[in-house]
């Protein structure tokens, strides 16, 4: 079964919500903003297009001395080559205002994602070729400084290998605790289903980090597995922590709490509402909607934990 997402890479929940807002606002309007417009010309848009065709050109055949090569009748041999030629033309298409705006914003998202991936690759390349491991510090009088820098920036654990559990049909990771000889084997469940084979291979061979979302899932599993002896203990711990049926404190994201209410609500990390990464007006609006959901889940008392 394929693990590919049915959504394109640029399609994030926030961007999907923005397209829905565009549709709710413009719906079937024509390019001039008229609702239910019956004038066909108001839907006509002239777009610039580019096409590539092949252009043939001939080159005379010569020998190594530069003399022309001819046949028995004295006719010179010619070789035909083809080169690509790019041409531009204008095309009139029928399009609604929503489609025009959606195509424009999606193109800008794709460009932003390309720039972000390029920058992430550049930073990753710098990190991979910077200070080496603890066994290979800077030589000479600055070796102690190199060692201090390494230990300061060292992660909590090192990913040694990723393999597959043939009994449970789930992947697991072998990690080494930083500053210790202890190794742990952590079941990853289905957290790696969306990771490509190439990224898994790089993580295993070169210790390159997994995607941020997957790395967050792995870190969460490792934190939950602390103090557990086997996979069953981890599963039971997760079930008891996030169960809605047990008495006590129920941990939940704001999205999961939609439609639910309780007498006492404790809001953790209120400084993330709105999220600092939300910059665009539509992103801030989404964050305000989420903030409203968080503040209206209580029946009696809302406590904000600073």
**CATH number of the domain that 294 lies in?**
3.30.160
Count the alpha carbons within 13 Å of 170 in the hemisphere toward its beta carbon: 11
The Cα angle at residue 282 between residues 278 and 288, in degrees rounded to 5: 70
Residues 250, 224, single domain; the answer is no
Residues 103, 20, single domain; the answer is yes
Task: Compute the distance between CA of residue 80 and CA of residue 59 in angstroms, rounded to an integer.
Answer: 6
From 241, 263, 280, give the residue that closes a domain: 241
Residues 229, 281, single domain; the answer is no
> pLDDT (tens digit, 9 = 90+) per residue, 235-248?
777 777 666 565 66
Q: What percent of the chain has pLDDT over 70?
A: 70
Q: Model's pTM, two decimal places?
A: 0.35
Alpha-carbon dihedral angle through residues 86, 91, 95, 97, given to the nearest 10 degrees: 70
> Is residue 4 included in any domain, yes or no?
no
Total count of domains within the chain: 3
> pLDDT (tens digit, 9 = 90+) per residue, 8-58?
888 887 888 888 888 888 888 888 888 888 888 888 888 888 888 888 988
Q: Output 173 or 49, whichever has higher pLDDT.
A: 49
Task: Compute the distance between CA of residue 48 and CA of residue 88 in angstroms, rounded to an integer.
Answer: 7
Whose CA is closest to 56, among 75, 72, 79, 77?
A: 79
Domain enclosing residue 293, as ranges: 244-306
> Is residue 164 included in any domain, yes or no?
yes
| Mean pLDDT, all residues of the chain | 76
Residues 223, 260, single domain; the answer is no
Residues 91, 67, single domain; the answer is yes
Q: Output 264 or 166, whichever has higher pLDDT.
A: 264
Residues 162, 221, single domain; the answer is yes
> Is residue 39 included in any domain, yes or no?
yes
> Is residue 152 included in any domain, yes or no?
no
Task: Compute the distance between CA of residue 66 and CA of residue 70 in angstroms, rounded to an integer.
Answer: 13
């Amino acid at each position: 079964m394929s693990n590919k997402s049915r959504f394109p890479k640029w399609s994030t929940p926030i961007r999907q919500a923005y397209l829905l807002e565009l549709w709710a606002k413009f719906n079937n309007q024509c390019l001039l903003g008229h609702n239910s417009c019956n004038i066909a010309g108001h839907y006509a848009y002239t777009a610039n297009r580019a096409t590539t065709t092949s252009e043939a050109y001939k080159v005379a055949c010569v020998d190594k001395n530069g003399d022309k090569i001819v046949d028995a009748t004295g006719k010179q041999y010619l070789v035909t080559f083809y080169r690509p030629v790019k041409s531009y033309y204008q095309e009139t298409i029928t399009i609604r205002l929503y489609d025009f705006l959606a195509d424009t914003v999606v193109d800008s998202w794709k460009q932003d994602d390309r720039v972000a991936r390029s920058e992430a690759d550049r930073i990753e390349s710098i990190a991979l070729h910077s200070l080496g491991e603890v066994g290979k510090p800077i030589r000479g009088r600055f070796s102690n400084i190199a060692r201090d820098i390494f230990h300061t920036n060292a992660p909590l654990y090192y990913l040694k290998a990723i393999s597959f559990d043939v009994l449970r049909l789930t992947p697991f990771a072998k990690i080494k605790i930083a500053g210790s000889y202890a190794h742990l084997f952590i079941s990853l469940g289905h957290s790696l289903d969306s990771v490509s084979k190439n990224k898994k291979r790089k993580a295993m061979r070169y210790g390159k980090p997994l995607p941020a979302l997957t790395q967050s899932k792995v870190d969460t599993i490792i934190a939950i597995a602390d103090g557990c002896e086997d996979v069953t203990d981890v599963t039971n711990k997760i079930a008891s922590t996030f169960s809605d049926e047990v008495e006590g404190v129920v941990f939940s994201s704001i999205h999961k709490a939609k439609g639910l209410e309780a007498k006492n609500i404790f809001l953790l990390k209120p400084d993330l509402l709105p999220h600092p990464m939300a910059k665009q007006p539509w992103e801030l609006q989404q964050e305000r909607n989420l903030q409203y959901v968080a503040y209206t889940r209580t029946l009696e008392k809302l406590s904000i934990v600073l």
